[in-house]
């Protein structure tokens, strides 16, 4: 599937491939594309390959398979800097398992020491998970497309204790803030995940709309014709209107009202 997805990436985007063993062979499949493929050797590490790729004007980084802890570290790096987006494959069964596996790889590789910090970095680079399955009859299909939504930390503390005139009231307000603090420290939710597309009873069903943040990010990386088609898709299936369409409708309404006022005067 990763090979087929390349066809839908704009040809103006340069592709940078990092693999532990050459398996994709994308330069043979897409000979007209600007593709640079690298793999580690006994004398050149995968990290060195990634460092070189950062200086080659790449738009899309592709990691063949995240199967080891160092490769997971390369994926996080490439997704954070030096590319518009990163594609990679993994064998996690569920989306929470994917986050946990990548987090543990970051910890074992020594990139991070704290679990929460490692998980935050993983969640920030995961946007969509396309999960493929193979049933016992040998049929391969996309089971679901899951979106990852990072949970923003909010300042929920209050200063209402200043308004309290009794010691008991001040202590109650302090305990409220303490409860919020310990909840964030011990049981903080870092992300939410929801299925955008699911395979149900032999057909694909759209279940949940894409988040506003990802919609805007997707529109910012499309050409004009694709933006129009994407906006129509959102409005047709989820009733979502993009901000640009809403602004155009608002400006049109204002102009018409002004025109009527001028005509009346």
How would you write the pLDDT of the chain (265 residues) with one tens digit per residue? 888 888 889 988 999 988 888 888 888 888 999 998 888 888 888 888 888 888 888 889 888 888 888 888 888 888 887 678 889 999 999 999 999 999 999 999 888 888 888 888 899 889 999 999 988 888 889 999 999 998 877 666 677 777 777 888 778 888 887 877 777 666 677 889 999 999 998 899 999 999 999 999 999 989 998 999 999 999 999 988 866 555 555 555 555 555 544 444 4
Cα 84 to chain center, whole Å?
11
The angle at the Cα of 107, spanning 101 to 108, to the nearest 5 degrees, equals 85
Q: What is the pLDDT of residue 261?
A: 44
In this structure, the chain runs to a length of: 265
Q: What is the pLDDT of residue 155?
A: 67
Q: Which two tokens stand for residue 109?
A: 């590789």
Tell me phi and psi for residue 132, to 5 degrees: -100, 145
pTM of the model: 0.76
CB count in 10 Å sphere of residue 130: 15
Residue-averaged pLDDT of the chain:
83
Cα 143 to chain center, whole Å?
18
DSSP codes, the chain: -HHHHGGGS-TTS-EEEEESS----HHHH-TTS-EEEEE--SSS-HHHHHHHHTTTT-SEEEES---SHHHHHHHHHHHHSSSSEEEE----SSHHHHHHHHHHHHHHTTS-S-HHHHHHHHHHH--EEEEEEE-TT--EEEEEEEEEEEPPP------GGGT--SHHHHHHHHHHHHHHHHHHHHH---EEEEEEEEEETTEEEE-SPPPHHHHHHHHTTS-HHHHHHHHHHHHHHH----HHHHHHHHHHHHHHHHHHHHHH-
Q: What is the pLDDT of residue 176?
A: 81
Residue 10 makes CB contacts below 8 A (sequence gap 6+) with 223
Q: What is the pLDDT of residue 211?
A: 92
Question: Of the candidates 9, 133, 24, which has an alpha carbon nearest to the alpha carbon of residue 88?
Answer: 24
Dist CA 265 CA 262 (whole Å):
5
H helices, E strands: number in the chain? 10, 8
Q: Name beta bridge partners: 205.
A: 198
Q: Name beta bridge partners: 87.
A: 62
Q: Which two tokens stand for residue 10?
A: 């704009």
Q: Would residue 216 be called left, alpha or beta, if left means φ above 0 and alpha means ψ between -120 and 50 degrees?
A: alpha
């Amino acid at each position: 599937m990763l090979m087929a997805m390349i066809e839908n990436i704009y040809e103006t985007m340069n592709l940078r491939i990092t693999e532990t063993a050459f398996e994709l062979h994308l330069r043979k499949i897409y000979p007209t594309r600007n593709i640079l493929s690298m793999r580690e050797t006994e004398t050149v590490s995968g990290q060195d390959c990634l460092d070189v790729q950062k200086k080659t004007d790449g738009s899309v980084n592709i990691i063949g398979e995240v199967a080891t802890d160092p490769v997971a570290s390369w994926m996080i790096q490439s997704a954070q800097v030096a590319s518009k987006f990163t594609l990679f494959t993994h064998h996690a069964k569920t989306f929470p398992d994917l986050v946990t596996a990548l987090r543990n790889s970051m910890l074992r590789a020594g990139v991070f020491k704290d679990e929460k910090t490692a998980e935050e970095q993983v969640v920030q680079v995961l946007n969509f998970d396309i999960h493929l399955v193979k049933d016992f009859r040998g049929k391969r299909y996309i089971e679901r497309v899951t979106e990852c939504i990072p949970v923003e930390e909010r300042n929920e503390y209050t200063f209402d204790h200043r308004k309290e005139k009794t010691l008991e009231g001040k202590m109650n307000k302090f305990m409220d803030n303490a409860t919020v603090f310990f909840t964030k420290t011990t049981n903080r939710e870092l992300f939410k995940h929801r299925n955008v597309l699911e395979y149900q009873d032999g057909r694909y069903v759209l279940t949940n709309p894409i988040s506003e943040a990802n919609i805007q990010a997707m529109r910012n990386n499309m050409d004009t014709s694709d933006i129009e088609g994407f906006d129509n898709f959102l409005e047709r299936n989820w009733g979502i209107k993009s901000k640009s369409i809403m602004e155009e409708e608002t400006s049109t309404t204002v102009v018409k009202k002004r025109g009527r006022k001028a005509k009346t005067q």
